[in-house]
Amino acid sequence: MDFSQPPGENYANPKTCFFHVLFKAAALAFYILSALFFNNFVVIFVVTVLLSALDFWVVKNVSGRILVGLRWWNEINDLGESVWRFECLDQESLARMNKKDSWLFWWTLYLSAVFWIVLGIFSLIRFQADFLLVVGVCLTLSIANIVGFTKCRKDAKKQIQQFASQTIASRVSSTIQSAFSVI
């Protein structure tokens, strides 16, 4: 993955990018600033987790599909086993995805988890088990999206490679058949 920001390209989906960042920033900002304004743990817990849950939903169901062309979900089959499901755009559509949108998606996805880890370390150092619970819930939601989209991206790359090898194999096969049919 390229970590440098794509030069000169504008965001293709600025509204989606805005909401992709909004709920992450709102959850983190509320959690950090709430100590200054509230002395009620329940309010801090509920609002922070609600904002983090909204972020989880927006990333999983909206911005992942629009910004990087990926979608994932997990379901339980008839045997009670957890099964990961992945969707991705076709190869041509993935190639046309805006690089700046993709860059923003991946960076904010990973960076928000890093912030929650740092906040968790601070909660541990200050022996604040209750706030560690808030951080744990938010970090779990963030990591769930990281795992889901990372698996989805790997699955998409595998599908593209399979498609490319099948296409090449069928072209070679048809070329060989046409060469022998001429003889």
- How confident is the model over 40-90, as pLDDT tens digits? 889 899 999 999 999 999 888 888 887 888 888 888 888 888 888 877 776
Is residue 8 in a domain?
no
Domain with 117, as residue range(s), is 14-178
Asked whether residue 183 is domain-assigned, the answer is no
- Does a structural domain hold residue 71? yes
The pLDDT of 139-155, averaged and rounded, is 83
Whether residue 155 lies inside any domain: the answer is yes
- DSSP for 80-137, please give it: S-EEEEEEE--HHHHHTS-HHHHHHHHHHHHHHHHHHHHHHHHHHHTT-HHHHHHHHH
Structural domain contains residue 5: no
Domain presence at residue 31: yes
- The CA angle 89-91-95, to the nearest 5 degrees, is 95
For the stretch 98-134, pLDDT in tens is 788 788 888 899 999 999 999 999 889 888 888 899 9
How many separate domains does the chain show? Answer: 1
Instruction: Report pLDDT for 100.
Output: 82
Q: In the predicted model, what is the mean pLDDT of the chain?
A: 79
Q: Is residue 24 part of a domain?
A: yes
Question: At 160, is the pLDDT very low, low, confident or very high (cuts 50, 70, 90)?
Answer: very low
What pLDDT score was predicted for residue 163?
A: 46
Flag whether 133 is in a domain: yes
**Does the pLDDT of residue 2 top 50, yes or no?**
yes
SS3 content of the chain, % helix, strand, coil (to 5): 75, 10, 15
The mean pLDDT of 30-34, rounded to a whole number, is 91
